[in-house]
Amino acid sequence: MNRTHELALGILKEAGAVDYQHGLGLSQIWKIAWDRRQLSGFVPTKQGLSGRLSELTGLGMVKTQSHVQLVDEASMQFRAERQPRWFLAQ
Specify the pLDDT at position 43.
85
**What's the rounded Cα separation, in Å, for the pair 27 and 23?**
12
Specify the pLDDT at position 67.
75
pTM of the model as a whole: 0.81
**Domain residue limits, the chain:** 3-88
- Consecutive 10-residue runs of the chain (90 residues): their mean pLDDT? 93 95 94 86 90 96 85 82 85
**DSSP code per residue over the chain:** --HHHHHHHHHHHHHT--SGGG-EEHHHHHHHHHHTHHHHS----HHHHHHHHHHHHHTTSEEEE--EEEEETTTTEEEE-S--EEEE--
Architecture, CATH, for domain 3-88? Orthogonal Bundle (1.10)
